[in-house]
Amino acid sequence: MIAIIGGSGMNKLSGLEELHRQIMRTPYGEPSSPLLFGTINGQEIVFLSRHGYGHTIPPHAVNYRANMWALNALQADRVIAIASVGGIRADMIPGKIVIPDQIIDYTYDRKFTYFDGTDKAVTHTDFTQPYCPIGRASILRAARHAGESVIDGGVYAATQGPRLETEAEINRLERDGADMVGMTGMPETILARELGLSYATIAAVANHAAGRGESTQAVPLETVYTVLEESMVHVRNILEHLVQD
Ligand code: HPA
């Protein structure tokens, strides 16, 4: 079964033939939303809305540990996370879809590990390649079959939010090697790895990051949702071409 985490612009998954839904409890509390089980194009999936179905949970308040725990408990074979980002690299303009291959964590004050108890041996987790290469390849293959153009690879900078960045912060992220910026990539990505889940991200560029593009004085927030709505049509097309491998 493929698990899909919907982000901003995808609180619901149209095209999902819903079979049933389940409220789950985990040792870390409740996930952001009930889990929806169904099929897309005959493929069995489970869908979780990261910000809740009413889009009420801000990025820093998402219960990432409960979310990933629930997907692991359901024995999801693959997790595909949908995330909206601001584009930093010149070709990452609004409307583009990127499959990131690296991440830098700038978040703080979030519950970022399952290994924080004092009752077990200290556990370190390899994170050299933060996204599952098999998951990435299956998204890229689905995009090819769907006739959707996507950018293969890029560095995702995870910021704390909910505010957007200053222009100087974006300049710093760029100097650090970041190509796009979002608020939910961490700790979601590392928690998936700690659980041994295959996890990869489809990032939809919603806006130029602060100080980039034409409106350098402010990020045009009013256009973000229109851009995302259009992008989600393409994301959905990619999801419809995903096959279990
Ligand atoms: N910054 C951080 N997160 C985002 C942005 C941004 O510009 N756009 C969408 N998510």
Q: Which residues of 90-117 are buried (b: 16+ CB within 10 A; e: fewer)?
A: eebebebbbbbbbbbbbbeebebebeee
* Residue % of the chain over a pLDDT of 90: 84
For residues 214 and 178, which has the higher predicted lDDT (pLDDT)?
178
> What does pTM read for this prediction?
0.96
- C-alpha 95 to ligand 1 mean position (Å): 13
Average pLDDT over residues 28-48: 94
Prediction ipTM score:
0.99
User: Do 27 and 111 meet the contact criterion of CB atoms below 8 Å apart?
Assistant: no
| Ligand 1: nearest atom to the Cα of 209 | 7
- C-alpha 209 to ligand 1 mean position (Å): 7
For residues 178 and 219, which has the higher predicted lDDT (pLDDT)?
178
Pocket of ligand 1 (CB under 6 A): 84-86, 159, 164-165, 181-183, 206-207, 209, 219
Confidence band for 244, pLDDT divided at 50, 70 and 90: low
Confidence band for 245, pLDDT divided at 50, 70 and 90: low
Q: In the 8-state DSSP scheme, what is residue 60? A: G
Q: Enter the tokens of residue 17.
A: 């033939």
Average pLDDT over residues 95-104: 98
- C-alpha 244 to ligand 1 mean position (Å): 31
What is the spatial distance between Cα 177 and Cα 93, in angstroms, rounded to a whole number?
17
pLDDT tens digits, residue range 112-151?
999 998 888 899 999 999 999 999 999 999 999 999 999 9
The conformational region for residue 233 under phi > 0 = left, psi -120 to 50 = alpha, else beta, is alpha
Question: What's the chain's length in residues?
Answer: 245
Sign of the C-alpha dihedral, residues 82, 195, 110, 71? positive
- C-alpha 132 to ligand 1 mean position (Å): 23
Under 8 Å CB-to-CB from 213, ≥6 apart: which residues?
87, 93, 94, 207
Average pLDDT over residues 182-209: 98
